[in-house]
């Protein structure tokens, strides 16, 4: 028995000793899953770098690694809200005349009124998103620096471009005094120092100038990745606003880089304005740099998916937008609607030099719109059939929304057409036709006997207002039907097919496009009184695309600074630029320009100048004692 | 037990030998055990009033003692037996018998890495034995001791079958990290996280197999578990066979009938029509009304039967004690389509070798659970769905289920924002899994032959679980998944595996040092654990073959290790003064090398006052012990995965790729990390008084404690640009908890025929956050938490310095003169003339001011009865169901109607006012958990030892002012909870 015990004892001791020595070492673990990499193992091949680079781009599109939601990048805010492009829309569009939002999510209504505080969720959301992007770019650059592979070096230039883009957003939205971190700073617990706006401006411009030659030539990179033209376009934009940031204008530099894009970029304006905002806009011309979305592969509740869904409500048919249903949030103010009411077209008629067959458009709008007496066919503007094929077209100005009209075969009431069911089909002696909103319209009537149809569309194809069931005025901001809706962004293709998934849009978000560069050049030219003829040429190029002809062309004398601002509104609304533009013009907070619900008053009221920049988030000021809150907050 | 006996003998001998000269007369006799008439050695015999004059019985139970006077009185006492006081009355021979104190004999409490006699415990430990368990249809062990222990709250998570319970010991000590206690089953710590189909790890154990549950509450008891001990430890010991026992077979069967105790009041079809016609006249809303009269809650709920069968065999075969049990539990849910079938089996073997020098304890438990989860979205939908619409319509579209939408040129388009048909949600969701789990261990207890009193113990254990056939299927024609994309429906398959392994090796030295009137019990050793898990999910649309893009294709694999060294010393001096000291050094792979090890000490002192001379003569006092404890414990379940300190990169899913050219690239994201992360440390001070009067017929304890958690984990903002996240978990805060616990048990009747025991406990637990950030900033309002339904990103609670955890953060409602809330009008609390978020205030919290538990057991001849009840006073709940009611929701211009709860008549709100304190409501309650009546037939047949039939009602009634469905809400936000059923149970128990 004793022997057995002894053996047992020895065995026990042996077990004990062997386990004890090995067990402590077990604590040195590294991730065992193949899909989890550590910073030590991740940067092996250029392809590894490319996958991290893809995340730097995706930082503007997706909100987490799961898509559409899950494993979020940013915390403390609903994941869908945290989307870079969505935040940019909220920060740049909602506080302006271009948009109001009807939702009551915490902190969001403040953006309608310019009344946010430092604890606002969206103030924090945008800020966090910007610095998330900067942190990731720094990490990438830190790791790419020592790698001589030419591919990796090219990727690094792109990462630096994205970092500069986000630093520009930081400067523009939050002003100087934001923290400054580069690849030279590490990861971990420290409190970065703030940078002055002058220094940040210099940093951004010098970075962009340094990396421009390192980036692929314009249109030579893969779609969705930044090239040299993207760097030039960003330089033009930063220089355009230089006076706001530093007090010193740099319009000449803006013109220099805009010109580089125009002359060396090889871009042309897409003939069809609509195509720039559709599910297949990756094939549209004139986009210099876009953030890419895809209903299958790049799903998010932010980005263009948000812009499209939030715009649809009321009587709008979601199917027409290629989506599964609207979220009924965003509309425009009446002041913005008026930008499309070109009163200079009052009384304008379509000329008929060859005396082609014509029909007429008598109605209750005539007197107010400069066409003689109401309901008088003899004074009414004509629609002309140049091919004598019973298809008549012409342009008519309507002074008021809801104006009524009919068509007459000649300048009498003998044969007249109206529309009984508002279905686009004409009936003889049919009911009056109503115009949705005031403005200059292109009317097409097909009087071929078997299908008598008509189409009324704004002469300016950029006017995408949806008015059925909507009122122009906004009495109650939370009612979707108060304020005109907008149909600019869609998840349908240029051939009318729905996007790949109705729940998530395919539509890409153009961050820079040629029309913007034309208008930047024109504005800088007009402001400095240099090369104004080219400026006019560029502006009319943009307008000719919008009108489909030279109907909308303006003259040199009409090309004023303010005209360009309005033109930018018409061309670039809901693309995340409006706030910056209004600030540059001094209209954002002042009483010089008021729009509905600015300052939380329906008719609009000036707000305090400190709202020109957003506050640093309260939590950021609390956690980083080096920072000073922006003045006024 | 032997050392104690020896000690007492020694004690007695010493006393007897030192004081012989004073004797005037001698009394002698024999002491026997009243239950079997066998002689009792070691019984203490003293002369009343002269604690130093005494002796103890010899091995034949014989004693002889000199007494000063024939009028003296003798006191006979022995551990585990009722004390007897006998006047000498001039006799020289006194033979007496002592009755076993049944209660006390069982009073060995299980503690970490060992057991202890209850009377020697120094920490705050509540032990609940099988005889005290709640009766009825119990599937989760937590319910066994619900309401039985002061300071322990057990809240069933919902009424869903197998949903388990949330257990909080003294309210928990964490904020961002887990507040779950550590569960140890037969020496195997269970993995804390759930597995699909078993949200609570305790559900693995068949309640019928449980012998006792020990709840370790204070640090001096738990510190032996070091870094996992801050939230208390629950040790479960299962039933085992005993040596020499003859075969006994037990069958228990239960049949239960579950009913829905209460429905929420929503507008009926008639009322609904009236409101739509009045409020929305002039709109197209009335045209959307249907002609049906559907009570959607009646549709989705059902009354259901459940059955429970258990068979166990206990005995000893050729010196091998064993217990084998089998259990089946078929649990239907009151929400249609929910179901859980559980099969359990266990084998326990306890052989001994080498003349009992080596004892082996083998425990194996296995189970299989088949789940069908109901789509609980139906609960909310049933409140919201228009009562004028039918369940089914005259169309085959969407499987025939009525669905909101509109007819367009391209066909019928479902409205994605409208409520989903509740019956479609239930019947078109097929969410199933089968879970397997096995827990087992082998314990070797070896008395080392060459060192007396030293034994070595080796415990090898495992806890494996696995989800087989996890699937979630929604067919392509489902009313709620169709999105007009042509590829609808969902098909998701998932797997999950967990493998935890354990090795404990420790030595125990138990020495009786009679020369210095002391006993020493030392335990020391080390423990090694590996926790491994992996899993995968693959999700596509229903029609898998057509998939363009896989919605989800993920897998994970992760592990962590814990290595520990621990030691405990129990020292007893004069059987009056007790000291326990423990030390644990824990290492975890979850933290960086510099933070990896943590040292957790504890110390406790106890003083058995009743053993002091000045109390020994007070007959009424059978027990009086003062306990003082102090200790530091940790918390390493920080909900941040296994590598929170490491910089890692994660690949994106197929739905979060990025397009370069025409390719979609799987992205690689750097993850935020905090390399300084370490465990929370909780320091606990505990003072307790255990008392017993009249031979413990009245007994209980009072405890007070103070607990401070330092390095409290809190998610704090990161300085922008310094990490790959904007918020990170950091050890920055402190949390204070103060508490008072009281419990009393009385047995006013205890004789052969009748027995009555009443237990009552009361708990007061107050917590306060005392620090939350690194930098002191008075402007910092705290961390908003407690997401609610309604809007996007709305929260209702806050963690702020100076306030309890999860305080409600709301606006103060203004009421009109009739006491009705005025919509959107709040008190300008800071008086700045504007109502904005600065006017929110912290109003109440979900924590009760006081909790009570009351239970009673009675026996009269063959009848037995019991009940248990609980009450919480001063707990508040945010009624999210009510706050989500508003007239404007009833008609959506996109073409659908939504029903509301009738409480809307009380607020008359047109728009939802989520942050009004009107919806933070007093949810104090009294709940009768359980009432039970049984009758036992003895010796009906030769083979049948006994037969007991019983009837039980569970969730008998709730008394509350709270207007929602159920005042007992985990976390304090009342959403659409799966209702807890009322259950009627018939039980049959047979013993062979």
The predicted-structure confidence for B280-298, as pLDDT tens digits, reads as follows: 888 888 999 999 999 999 9
Nearest-Cα residue of chain A relative to residue B503: A19
Contacting residues of A for B458, CB less than 8 Å apart: 12, 15
* Inter-chain residue contact A297 with B791, CB threshold 8 Å: no
Q: Is A21 on the interface with B (CB under 8 A)?
A: no
Interface of A with B in 190-249 (CB under 8 A): 190-192, 222-225
- The region of weakest confidence among A342-351, A358-367, B96-105, B187-196 is B96-105
- Counting Cβ atoms within 10 Å, is residue B36 exposed (0-12), middle (13-18) or buried (19+)? exposed
What would the pLDDT profile of A212-228 be if each residue is shown by its tens digit?
A: 999 999 999 999 999 99
| pLDDT(B773) > 50 | yes
Q: Can you say how many angstroms the Cα of residue B18 is from the centroid of all Cα atoms in its chain?
A: 53
Peptide bond between residue A68 and the one before it cis (omega within 30 degrees of 0): yes
> In degrees to the nearest 10, what's the CA dihedral of A234, A283, B662, A85?
40
Q: Tell me the C-alpha distance between A485 and B51, whole Å.
A: 96
Helix (H, G, I), strand (E, B) or coil at A426: coil
Contacting residues of B for A620, CB less than 8 Å apart: 717, 719-720
Instruction: Among A13, A65, A118, pick the best mutation site for testing chain B contact (most B Cβ within 10 A).
Output: A65
A16 min Cα distance to partner chain B (Å): 7
Of A128, A296, A325, Cβ closest to residue B416: A325
Residue B73, CA distances (Å) to A135, B31, B45, B617 in order: 85, 16, 10, 11
User: Which H or E element spans position A36?
Assistant: strand A36-38
Q: Tell me the C-alpha distance between A472 and A438, whole Å.
A: 10
* Inter-chain residue contact A298 with B416, CB threshold 8 Å: no
Interface of B with A in 342-381 (CB under 8 A): 354-355, 357-358
A50 min Cα distance to partner chain B (Å): 8
Contacting residues of B for A624, CB less than 8 Å apart: 719-720
Instruction: Among B409, B447, B586, B658, pick the best mutation site for testing chain A contact (most A Cβ within 10 A).
Output: B658
Contacting residues of A for B718, CB less than 8 Å apart: 623
Interface of B with A in 399-418 (CB under 8 A): 408, 410, 413-417
Q: Tell me the C-alpha distance between A308 and A320, whole Å.
A: 11
- Token digits for B17? 């030998």
The average confidence (pLDDT) of chain B is: 87
- The region of weakest confidence among A321-325, B738-742, B919-923 is A321-325
Nearest-Cα residue of chain A relative to residue B534: A33
Q: Which residues contact B135 (CB under 8 A, 6 or more apart)?
A: B866, B930, B932, B934, B950, B952, B985, B987
Q: Which position has the higher pLDDT, B73 or A301?
A: A301
Confidence category of residue B550, pLDDT binned at 50, 70, 90: confident
Residue A367, CA distances (Å) to A400, A583, B734 in order: 11, 39, 76
| pLDDT(B24) > 80 | no
Q: Is A328 on the interface with B (CB under 8 A)?
A: yes
Nearest-Cα residue of chain A relative to residue B785: A76
Which residue from B758, B724, B764 is spatially nearest to B742, judged by alpha carbons? B764
pLDDT of residue B6: 44
What percentage of chain B carries pLDDT values higher than 90? 50
User: Which H or E element spans position A568?
Assistant: helix A561-572
Which residue is listed with tokens 């961390």? B783
Of A180, A317, A325, Cβ closest to residue B408: A317
Q: Is A600 on the interface with B (CB under 8 A)?
A: no
Contacting residues of B for A191, CB less than 8 Å apart: 719, 722
pLDDT of residue B295: 96
Q: Contact, A55 vs A43, CB < 8 A?
A: no
Secondary structure, 3-state, B851-919? EEEEEEEEEECCEEEEEEEEEEECCEEEEHHHHCCCHHHHEECCCEEECCECCHHHHCCCCCCCCEHHH
What's the whole-number mean pLDDT along residues B807-826? 93
pLDDT of residue A543: 97
Q: Is A513 on the interface with B (CB under 8 A)?
A: no
Residue numbers of chain A with a pLDDT score lower than 50: 1-2
Q: Which residues of A356-365 are buried (b: 16+ CB within 10 A; e: fewer)?
A: ebbbbbbbbb
* Inter-chain residue contact B650 with A478, CB threshold 8 Å: no
Which residue is listed with tokens 């939380």? A600
Residue B895, CA distances (Å) to B378, B403, B864 in order: 21, 12, 61
What would the pLDDT profile of A115-151 be if each residue is shown by its tens digit?
A: 998 888 899 999 999 999 999 999 999 999 989 999 9
A136 min Cα distance to partner chain B (Å): 6
Contacting residues of B for A135, CB less than 8 Å apart: 721-724
Contacting residues of A for B548, CB less than 8 Å apart: 296, 500
Q: Is A188 on the interface with B (CB under 8 A)?
A: yes
Contacting residues of A for B647, CB less than 8 Å apart: 38-39, 187
Confidence category of residue B942, pLDDT binned at 50, 70, 90: confident
Q: Which position has the higher pLDDT, B713 or B777?
A: B713
pLDDT of residue A6: 64
| A303-311 and A84-92 helices, crossing angle to 10° | 50
What would the pLDDT profile of B409-460 be if each residue is shown by its tens digit?
A: 667 878 888 999 999 999 999 999 999 999 999 999 988 888 888 999 999 9
Contacting residues of B for A104, CB less than 8 Å apart: 791, 911
Q: Name the phi and psi angles at B199, rounded to 5.
A: -70, -25
Q: Which residues contact B916 (CB under 8 A, 6 or more apart)?
A: B810, B811, B813, B821, B826, B883
Q: Contact, B290 vs B388, CB < 8 A?
A: yes
Nearest-Cα residue of chain B relative to residue A26: B561
pLDDT of residue B284: 83
What would the pLDDT profile of B874-886 be if each residue is shown by its tens digit?
A: 999 999 999 999 9
Confidence category of residue B20, pLDDT binned at 50, 70, 90: very low
B831 min Cα distance to partner chain A (Å): 18
Contacting residues of A for B809, CB less than 8 Å apart: none
What would the pLDDT profile of B249-263 be if each residue is shown by its tens digit?
A: 999 999 999 999 989
ipTM of the complex: 0.94
- Token digits for B443? 């314990």
pLDDT of residue A576: 97
Confidence category of residue B26, pLDDT binned at 50, 70, 90: confident
Q: Which residues contact B618 (CB under 8 A, 6 or more apart)?
A: B610
What would the pLDDT profile of B883-896 be if each residue is shown by its tens digit?
A: 999 998 998 877 89
What's the whole-number mean pLDDT along residues B459-484? 83
Q: Name the phi and psi angles at A367, rounded to 5.
A: -60, -50
| Exposure of B533 in the CB half-sphere (CA atoms within 13 A) | 19
| pLDDT(B14) > 70 | no
pLDDT of residue B834: 75
| pLDDT(B510) > 80 | yes
Q: Are strands A416-418 and A407-408 parallel, antiparallel or unpaired?
A: antiparallel
| pLDDT(B737) > 50 | yes
B864 min Cα distance to partner chain A (Å): 50
A580 min Cα distance to partner chain B (Å): 23
Q: Which residues contact B632 (CB under 8 A, 6 or more apart)?
A: B219, B223, B600, B601, B602, B681, B682, B683, B684
Q: Model pTM?
A: 0.84
Which residue from B374, B390, B369 is spatially nearest to B158, judged by alpha carbons? B374
Confidence category of residue B77, pLDDT binned at 50, 70, 90: confident
Q: Tell me the C-alpha distance between B107 and B119, whole Å.
A: 8
Q: Which residues are B501's β-sheet partners?
A: B462, B530
* Inter-chain residue contact B794 with A105, CB threshold 8 Å: yes
- The region of weakest confidence among A10-19, B630-639, B824-833 is A10-19
B339 min Cα distance to partner chain A (Å): 29
Instruction: Among A3, A11, A55, pick the best mutation site for testing chain B contact (most B Cβ within 10 A).
Output: A55
Which residue is listed with tokens 């003895």? B938
What's the whole-number mean pLDDT along residues B530-541? 90
First to last CA, chain A: 85
- Token digits for B420? 């989903």
Q: Contact, B632 vs B681, CB < 8 A?
A: yes
| pLDDT(B21) > 50 | no
* Inter-chain residue contact B449 with A2, CB threshold 8 Å: yes
Contacting residues of B for A503, CB less than 8 Å apart: 483, 485
Q: Is B305 on the interface with A (CB under 8 A)?
A: no
Which residue is listed with tokens 């322990």? B152
Interface of B with A in 218-257 (CB under 8 A): none
């Amino acid at each position: 028995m004793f022997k057995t015990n002894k053996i047992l004892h020895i065995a026990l001791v042996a077990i004990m000793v062997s386990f004890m020595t090995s067990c402590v070492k077990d604590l040195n673990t590294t991730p065992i899953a193949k899909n989890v990499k550590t910073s030590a193992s991740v940067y092996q091949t250029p392809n590894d770098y490319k996958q991290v680079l893809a995340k730097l781009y995706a930082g503007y599109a997706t909100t987490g690694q799961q898509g559409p939601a899950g494993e979020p990048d940013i915390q403390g805010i609903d994941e869908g809200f945290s989307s870079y492009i969505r935040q940019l829309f909220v920060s740049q569009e909602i506080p302006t005349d271009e948009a109001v939002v009807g939702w009551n999510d915490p902190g969001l209504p403040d953006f309608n009124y310019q009344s946010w505080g430092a604890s606002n969720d969206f103030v924090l959301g945008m800020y966090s998103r910007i610095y998330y992007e900067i942190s990731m770019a720094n990490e990438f650059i830190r790791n790419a620096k020592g790698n001589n592979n030419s591919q990796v070096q090219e990727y690094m230039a792109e990462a630096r471009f994205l970092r500069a883009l986000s630093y520009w957003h930081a400067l523009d939205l939050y002003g100087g005094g934001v923290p400054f971190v580069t690849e030279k700073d590490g990861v971990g617990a420290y409190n970065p120092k703030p940078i002055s706006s002058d220094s940040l401006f210099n940093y951004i411009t010098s970075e962009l100038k340094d990396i421009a030659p390192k980036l692929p030539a314009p249109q030579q990179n893969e779609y969705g990745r930044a090239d040299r033209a993207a760097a030039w376009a960003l330089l033009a934009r930063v220089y355009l606003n230089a006076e706001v940031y530093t007090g010193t204008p740099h319009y000449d530099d803006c013109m220099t880089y805009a010109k580089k894009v125009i002359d060396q970029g090889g871009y042309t304006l897409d003939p069809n304005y609509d195509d720039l905002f559709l599910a297949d806009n990756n094939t549209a011309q004139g986009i210099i740099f876009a953030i890419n979305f895809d209903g299958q592969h790049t799903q998010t509740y932010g980005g263009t998916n948000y812009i499209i869904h939030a715009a649809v409500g009321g009587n709008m048919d979601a199917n027409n937008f290629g989506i599964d249903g609207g979220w009924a949030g965003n509309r425009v103010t009446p002041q913005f609607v008026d930008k499309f009411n070109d009163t200079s077209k009052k009384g304008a008629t379509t000329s008929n030099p060859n005396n082609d067959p014509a029909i007429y458009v008598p109605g209750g709008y005539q007197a107010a719109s400069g066409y003689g007496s109401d309901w008088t066919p003899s004074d009414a503007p004509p629609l002309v059939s140049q091919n004598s094929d019973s298809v008549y077209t012409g342009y008519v100005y309507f002074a008021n929304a809801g104006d009524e009209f009919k068509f007459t075969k000649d300048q009498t009431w003998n044969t007249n057409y109206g529309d009984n069911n508002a279905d686009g089909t004409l009936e003889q002696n049919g009911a009056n036709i109503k115009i949705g909103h005031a403005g200059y319209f292109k009317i097409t009537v097909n009087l071929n006997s078997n299908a008598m149809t008509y189409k009324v569309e704004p002469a300016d194809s950029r006017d995408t207002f949806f008015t059925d069931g909507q009122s122009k005025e906004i009495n109650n901001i939370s009612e979707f039907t108060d304020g005109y809706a907008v149909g600019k962004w869609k998840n349908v293709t240029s051939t009318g097919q729905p996007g790949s998934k109705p729940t998530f849009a395919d539509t890409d978000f153009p961050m820079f496009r040629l029309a913007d560069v034309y208008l930047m050049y024109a504005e800088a030219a007009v402001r400095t009184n240099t090369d104004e003829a080219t400026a006019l040429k560029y502006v009319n190029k943009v307008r000719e695309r919008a009108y489909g002809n030279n109907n909308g062309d303006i003259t040199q004398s009409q090309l004023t600074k303010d005209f360009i601002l309005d033109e930018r509104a018409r061309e670039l609304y809901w693309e995340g630029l409006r706030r910056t533009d209004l600030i540059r013009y001094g209209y954002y907070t002042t009483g010089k320009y008021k729009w509905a619900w600015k300052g939380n008053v329906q008719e609009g009221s000036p707000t305090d100048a400190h709202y020109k920049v957003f506050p640093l988030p309260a939590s950021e000021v609390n956690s980083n004692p080096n920072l000073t809150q922006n003045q006024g907050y | 037990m032997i050392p104690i006996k020896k000690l007492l003998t020694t004690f007695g001998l010493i006393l007897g030998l030192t004081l012989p000269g004073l004797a005037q007369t001698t009394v002698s006799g024999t002491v026997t055990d009243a239950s079997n008439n066998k002689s009792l050695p070691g019984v203490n015999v003293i002369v009343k009033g002269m604690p130093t004059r005494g002796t103890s019985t010899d091995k034949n139970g014989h004693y002889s003692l000199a007494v000063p006077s024939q009028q003296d009185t003798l006191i006979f006492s022995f551990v585990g037996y009722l004390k007897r006081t006998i006047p000498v009355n001039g006799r020289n021979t006194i033979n007496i018998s002592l009755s076993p104190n049944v209660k006390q004999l069982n009073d060995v409490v299980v503690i970490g890495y060992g057991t202890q006699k209850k009377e020697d415990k120094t920490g705050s430990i509540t032990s609940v034995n099988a005889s005290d368990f709640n009766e009825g249809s119990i599937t989760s062990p937590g319910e066994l001791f619900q309401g039985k222990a002061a300071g322990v709250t057990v809240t069933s998570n919902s009424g869903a079958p197998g949903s388990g319970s949330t257990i909080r010991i003294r309210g928990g000590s964490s904020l961002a990290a887990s507040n779950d206690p550590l569960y140890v089953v037969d020496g195997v710590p269970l993995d804390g996280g759930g597995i699909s189909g078993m949200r609570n790890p305790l559900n693995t154990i068949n309640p019928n197999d449980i012998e006792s549950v020990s709840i370790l509450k204070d640090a001096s008891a738990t510190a032996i578990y070091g870094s996992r001990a801050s939230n208390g430890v629950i040790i479960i010991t299962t039933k085992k066979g005993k040596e020499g026992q003859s075969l006994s077979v037990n069958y228990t069967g239960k049949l239960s009938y579950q009913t829905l105790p209460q429905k929420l009041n929503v507008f009926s079809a008639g009322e609904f029509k009236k409101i739509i016609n009045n409020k929305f006249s002039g709109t197209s809303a009335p045209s959307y009304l249907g002609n049906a009269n559907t009570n959607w809650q009646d549709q989705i709920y059902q009354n259901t039967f459940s059955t429970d069968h258990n068979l166990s065999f206990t005995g000893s075969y050729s010196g091998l004690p064993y217990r084998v049990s089998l259990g089946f539990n078929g649990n239907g849910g009151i929400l249609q389509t929910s179901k859980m079938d559980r099969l359990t089996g266990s084998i326990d073997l306890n052989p001994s070798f080498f003349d009992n020098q080596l004892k082996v304890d083998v425990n194996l438990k296995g189970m299989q659970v088949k789940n069908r989860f109901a789509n609980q979205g139906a609960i909310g939908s049933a409140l919201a769905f228009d009562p004028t619409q039918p369940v089914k319509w005259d169309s085959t579209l969407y499987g025939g289920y009525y669905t909101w939408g509109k007819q367009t040129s391209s066909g019928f388009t479902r409205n994605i924002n409208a409520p989903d048909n509740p019956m479609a949600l239930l019947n078109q969701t097929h969410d199933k899994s089968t879970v397997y789990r096995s827990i087992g261990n082998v314990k070797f207890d070896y008395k080392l032959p060459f060192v007396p009193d030293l034994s070595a113990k080796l415990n090898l254990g495992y806890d494996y679980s696995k989800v087989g056939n996890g699937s979630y299927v929604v067919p392509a024609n489902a009313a709620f998944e169709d999105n007009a994309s042509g590829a609808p429906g969902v098909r998701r398959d998932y797997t999950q595996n967990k493998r935890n392994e354990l090795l404990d090796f420790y030595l125990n030295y138990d020495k009786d040092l009679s020369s210095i009137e002391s006993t020493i019990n030392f335990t020391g050793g080390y423990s090694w654990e590996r926790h491994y898990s992996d899993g995968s999910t693959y999700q596509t649309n229903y029609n898998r073959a057509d998939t363009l893009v896989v919605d989800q294709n993920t897998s994970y694999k992760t592990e962590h290790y814990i290595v520990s060294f621990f030691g405990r010393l129990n020292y007893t001096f004069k059987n009056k003064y007790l000291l326990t000291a423990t030390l644990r050094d824990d290492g975890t792979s979850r933290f960086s090398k510099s933070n990896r090890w943590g040292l957790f000490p504890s110390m406790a002192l106890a003083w058995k006052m009743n053993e002091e001379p000045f109390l020994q003569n007070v007959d009424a006092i059978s027990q009086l012990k003062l306990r003082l404890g102090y200790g530091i414990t940790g918390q390493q379940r920080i909900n941040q995965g296994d590598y929170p300190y490491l910089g890692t990169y994660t690949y994106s899913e197929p739905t979060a790729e990025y397009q370069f050219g025409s390719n979609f690239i799987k992205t690689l994201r750097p993850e935020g990390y905090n390399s300084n992360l370490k465990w929370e440390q909780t320091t606990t001070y505990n003072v307790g008084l255990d008392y017993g009067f009249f031979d413990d017929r009245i007994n209980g304890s009072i405890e007070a404690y103070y607990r401070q958690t330092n390095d409290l984990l809190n998610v704090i903002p990161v300085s922008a640009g310094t990490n790959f996240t904007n918020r990170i978990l950091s050890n920055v805060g402190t949390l204070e908890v103060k508490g008072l616990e009281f419990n009393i048990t009385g047995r006013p009747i205890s004789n052969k025929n009748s027995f009555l025991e009443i237990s009552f406990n009361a708990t007061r637990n107050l917590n306060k956050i005392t620090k939350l950030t690194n930098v002191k900033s008075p402007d910092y309002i705290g961390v908003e938490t407690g997401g609610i339904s309604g809007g996007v990103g709305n929260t209702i609670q806050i963690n702020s310095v100076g306030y309890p955890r999860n305080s409600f953060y709301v606006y103060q409602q203004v009421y009109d003169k009739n006491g009705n809330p005025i919509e959107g009008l709040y008190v300008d609390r800071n008086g700045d003339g504007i109502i904005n978020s600065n006017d929110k205030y912290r109003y109440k919290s979900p924590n009760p001011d006081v909790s009570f538990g009351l239970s009673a057991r009675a026996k009269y001849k063959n009848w037995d009865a019991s009940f248990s009840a609980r009450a919480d006073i001063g707990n508040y709940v945010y009624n999210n169901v009510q706050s989500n009611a508003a007239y404007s929701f009833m008609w959506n211009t996109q073409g659908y109607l939504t029903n509301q709860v009738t409480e809307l008549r009380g607020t008359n709100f047109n728009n939802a006012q989520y942050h009004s304190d009107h919806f933070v409501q007093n949810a104090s309650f009294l709940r009768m958990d359980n009432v039970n009546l049984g009758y036992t037939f003895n010796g009906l047949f030769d083979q049948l030892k006994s037969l007991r039939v019983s009837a039980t009602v569970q969730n008998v009634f709730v008394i509350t002012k709270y207007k929602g469905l159920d005042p007992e809400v985990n976390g304090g936000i009342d959403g659409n909870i799966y209702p807890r059923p009322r259950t009627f149970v018939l039980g049959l128990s047979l013993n062979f």
